[in-house]
A and B are shown apart, each in its own frame.
Chain A
Amino acid sequence: MQSAHIVSAYDEELKFLSKRIAAMGGHAERMVEQAVAALVNADPGLAQKVIHDDLVLDEGQREIDDKAIIIIARRQPMATDLREIVGAIRISADIERVGDLGKNLAKRVAAVIDGRQPSSLFRGLEALADLALTQLKEVLDVYASRSVEKIGFVRDRDDQIDAMYTSLFRELLTYMMEDPRNITPCTHLLFCAKNIERIGDHATNIAETIYYIVTGDQMPAERPKGDKTDQVVVPGPASAK
């Protein structure tokens, strides 16, 4: 935790920012969790709730932006404090995006539940979502504890998410080739998988911001990405002569 300032109200303001970030984070985690549950259990009611809940995150981000600008103007923060405040602005933007992605998942529920898809697809999506949510949870836990030495896991997990995403991508393409009637739901599921994968990317962004807040250095350069969907080609059935 940061050392006390002479003006205790300043401390209060900084604490308010981190508390608000945590509340937003918890909300985003819950939204994604429920959106995936709505998708897997074909529950349009739950999906509607998630869509509605996104408002809270939008409002949270606006509030953090306003507060942060006011603190910068009034207190002229330096060093750690400045990083803390700028970091809060960036993290809240990432969390807000996670919420948007969760909302987008929920919006697709209606399109997917008409034709039942093989349950292995939903199990795959669920496993992908578990990976992304674990990453988000661990990153936000690091934000609470400030123990940045634990942040290395984020990139390992990112590799797993990419591998899982590539595998799902391939499977979805195969289903679409098999039967053109699958194209509509499978396209929606493809976007769902992409959204979940993006949630993992935002979690990585947040991890980098936290690393910067605590150490003052940027995180070392990124390793090559494991997302190979840009190369996935499923050969079509042999064309007639």
Chain B
Amino acid sequence: MVDKGADQKGAIPAAVARLRRSRWLLAAAMVAVLGVYGFGGLSIFVPLLALALLVAAAMLPAEAERQSANGAAAIEVGGLQRLSGEYLAAAVADPLIIFDRTATIVHANAAAFAAFGGLAPGMSLSLKFRAPEMQALLDGIVSGTMASDVVDYTEKLPVERTYRVSASSVGHATDLYVLVFKDQSEARRIDRMRADFIANASHELRTPLASIAGFVETLRGPARNDAAARDQFLQIMQNQTGRMARLIDDLLSLSRLEMKPYLRPGTAVDLRQTIDSVIDSLAPLANENGIAIERDFTDGAISVPGDRDELFQVFENLLENACKYGQSGGRVTVSIAHAEDGQDPGIDVTIRDYGPGIAEEHIPRITERFYRVDVENSRTQKGTGLGLSIVKHILTRHDARLSIKTEVGKGAAFTVHLPAQ
């Protein structure tokens, strides 16, 4: 018992001493943490920040005489001084921009550069963020009528992003101000996805559902005892349910893609192997339609950064279309080539059919949801009207391009250009 008490007595001063030794580190960490959170919700943390500074200041005179003896202390003091605004800004994960009284950018952290292209110190913020609410926010802060303010800012193009932007002045009379962007796009997109899914699904599912309902009614009524008709009707109903299932699959994968249109996948994909397996998986369909698939692959390793499953889906959809709608041509060519010319090197994958081709006026709109070149033909080929829309979304995520060359009567060539980097 006695021993244990002595141990405890010894332990407490030791802990205090350790705390004192590392006080600068602690103070710096606290300032950093408070700084980071302070930009989000300023009001609660201002008194805490003041308290932290007070504690640090109170400890300073008591320890002053020991400081000269302690060599390590000098480095720790340097540690606090090194904690410049730049380091602090770099440690913040959200886009953060520091600007002066004329709304000119003084510093922007890496996250800000990544989120908004074309930022540079010396550039005017009000020229870059032109939305009326951002203009009002900047004017209000710079003119000093408001100490801090928060607005919601939405960028519609090229991909929709929503930020909650908070602006406030930095310190006292520094003439510097800070903007912090909190990304809220995900939540907004989930809402949108729900609404879009319901709108599209209800519209497109109604047709097969109406047909099924009609046949059920007939089967229960006039065709009750007609075995031949019953079989035929059941076959049609099965086709319709199959169509609904495909539609739901496509809608779901499209919605999933739309949720995160700008997440860039990271790993490398072996295109040769991927496209080989696409061709294998579609061999039954090609046989059924009397199509011969020809390969024209370039030599050597062919790999691009990307997500294998998504790229698989791209080439599956394109090849499936070629087999279905280019049936009259009797063959489909799949070629992989290095694209050396032009500004951006990469890999070109071309899927060419020799069918009827596509009229020019459809080309610009062919990747729209539910846009069909020929509604009747699409229905008989079990198309959902979403295949190319999915292709476009995946390619946008991969920073890739789809180009279409076609001549009526001579077939169509869909070329996917995947950048090497």
Give the B-binding residues of A (Cβ under 8 A): 1, 15, 18-19, 22-23, 25-27, 29-30, 33, 119-120, 123-124, 127, 130, 133-134, 137, 140-141, 143-145, 147, 160, 163-164, 166-167, 170-171
* Residues in chain A near residue B103, CB distance under 8 A: 19
CB-defined interface of B363-382 with A at 8 Å, one 1/0 digit per residue? 11100111100000000000
> Out of A25, A145, A163, which one reaches B130, CB within 8 Å?
A25
- A120-B370, A137-B157 provided; 15 other pairs, C-beta below 8 A? A1-B122, A15-B102, A18-B127, A22-B126, A25-B130, A26-B134, A27-B130, A119-B203, A124-B365, A141-B118, A143-B127, A144-B118, A144-B123, A144-B128, A163-B363
The residue in chain B whose Cβ has the minimal distance to the Cβ of A31 is B132
Report the Cα distance A23→B134, complex, angstroms: 10
Residue B300 is within 8 A (CB to CB) of chain A in the complex: no
Summed over the interface, the residue pairs from A and B with CB atoms below 8 Å come to a total of: 80
Does B188 belong to the interface (CB within 8 Å)?
no
Q: What's the minimum C-beta distance from B104 to chain A, rounded to whole angstroms?
A: 9
A124 engages B157 (CB within 8 Å)? no
Distance between Cα atoms of A144 and B128 in the complex (Å): 6
Does B361 reach chain A (CB closer than 8 Å)?
Answer: yes
CB of A140 within 8 A of CB of B130, answer: yes
Nearest A residue to B116 via CB reads: A141
Closest CB in chain A relative to B362 CB, distance in Å = 7
The chain B residues found within 8 Å of chain A, CB to CB, are 102-103, 118, 120, 122-124, 126-132, 134-135, 156-158, 203, 361-365, 368-371
* CB <8 Å contact, A123 and B127: no
Collect the chain A residues with CB atoms within 8 Å of residue B157's CB. Answer: 130, 133-134, 137
Given the complex, which residues of B lie within 8 Å of A164, measured CB to CB? 364-365
A163 x B364 contact (CB < 8 A): yes
Query: Is the CB–CB distance between A120 and B130 below 8 Å?
Result: no
Given contacts A145-B120, A145-B123, A147-B118, contact A26 B132 (CB under 8 A): yes
- Interchain CA distance A33-B155 in the complex, whole Å: 11
Q: Which residues of B contact A145 (CB under 8 A)?
A: 118, 120, 123, 128
Query: Quick one: given A119-B203, A141-B118, A167-B362, are A22 and B124 in contact (CB under 8 Å)?
Result: yes
A147: chain B residues at CB < 8 Å are 118
What's the Cα separation between A140 and B103 when bound, in Å?
Answer: 17
Write out the residue numbers on chain B whose beta carbons fall within 8 Å of the beta carbon of A22.
Answer: 124, 126-128, 130, 135
A123:B368 contact, CB within 8 angstroms: yes
State how many angstroms separate the Cβ of B140 from the closest Cβ of chain A. Answer: 14
A/B interface sample: 17 pairs, CB < 8 A? A22-B130, A25-B130, A29-B130, A30-B131, A33-B156, A123-B370, A130-B157, A133-B156, A134-B157, A140-B127, A143-B127, A144-B118, A145-B120, A166-B361, A167-B361, A167-B363, A167-B365
Partner of A19, one of B118, B127, B131, B158: B127
Once bound together, how far apart are the Cα atoms of A50 and B262, in whole Å?
Answer: 31
B153 to chain A, nearest CB (A): 11
Cα A18 to Cα B135 with chains together (Å): 13
Q: Which 3 A-B pairs have the closest CB atoms?
A: A26-B130, A144-B127, A22-B127
Indicate whether A26 sits within 8 Å of B364 (C-beta atoms), given known contacts A18-B127, A140-B130, A144-B123.
no
A160 contacts which chain B residues (CB < 8 A)? Answer: 364
Instruction: Give Cα distance in the complex from A170 to B124, angstroms.
Output: 44
Q: Looking across the interface, which residue of chain B has its beta carbon closest to that of A160?
A: B364
In the assembly, what is the distance between CA of A145 and CA of B369, in Å? 35
The answer to whether A19 and B368 have CB atoms under 8 Å apart is no
Distance of A198 Cα from B305 Cα, bound (Å):
39
Query: Contact at B365–A23, with CB atoms within 8 Å?
Result: no
- Residue among A26, A123, A124 with most chain B CB within 10 A: A26
B residues less than 8 Å from A127 (CB atoms): 365, 368
Instruction: Quote the shortest CB–CB distance from A153 to chain B (angstroms).
Output: 12
Residue of A nearest to B158 (CB): A134
Chain B nearest Cβ from A81, distance in angstroms: 17
- Identity of the chain A residue whose Cβ is nearest the Cβ of B372 in the assembled complex: A120
How far apart are the CA atoms of A144 and B131 in the complex, in Å? 14
In angstroms, Cα B103 to Cα A19, docked, is 10
Report the separation of the CA atoms of residues A18 and B126 in the bound assembly, to the nearest whole angstrom: 9
Closest B residue to A136 using CB positions: B157
Q: Which residue of A lies closest to B367 (CB)?
A: A127
A23/B130 in contact, CB under 8 A: yes
In the bound complex, how far is the Cα of B362 from the Cα of A179, in angstroms? 22
Chain B residues within an 8 Å CB radius of A143: 127
Instruction: Give B368's nearest chain A residue, CB to CB.
Output: A123
The closest CB in chain A to the CB of B120 belongs to A145
* Distance of A26 Cα from B156 Cα, bound (Å): 12
- Tell me how far the C-beta of B11 lies from the nearest C-beta in chain A, rounded to whole angstroms: 60
Min CB distance A34 to B, Å, is 10
CA distance A22 to B123 in the complex (A): 13
In the complex, which residue of chain B has the Cβ closest to the Cβ of A1? B122
| Residue of B122, B132, B369 with most partner-chain A CB within 10 A | B132
**A105 nearest CB across to chain B (Å):** 16
How far apart sit A160 and B401, CA to CA, in the bound complex (Å)?
Answer: 14
**Chain A residues in 8 Å Cβ range of B120:** 145
Shortest distance in angstroms between B367's beta carbon and chain A's nearest beta carbon? 9
Q: How far is the CA of A119 from the CA of B203 in the complex (A)?
A: 10
A120–B127 contact, CB under 8 A?
Answer: no
In the bound complex, do residue B368 and residue A26 qualify as a contact, i.e. CB atoms below 8 Å apart?
no
Residues of A within 8 A of B362 (CB): 167
Q: Name the one of A30, A144, A170 contacting B361, with C-beta atoms under 8 angstroms.
A: A170
Closest to A130 in B: B157
In the complex, what residues of A have CB within 8 A of residue B364's CB? 160, 163-164, 166-167
Task: Let me know if A26 and B118 touch, CB within 8 A.
Answer: no
Q: Considering the chains assembled together, what is the distance between the CA atoms of A209 and B103 in angstroms? A: 25
Chain A residue contacts of B156, Cβ below 8 A: 33, 133
CB pair A124–B368 under 8 Å, yes or no, is yes
A167 CB to nearest B CB, Å: 5
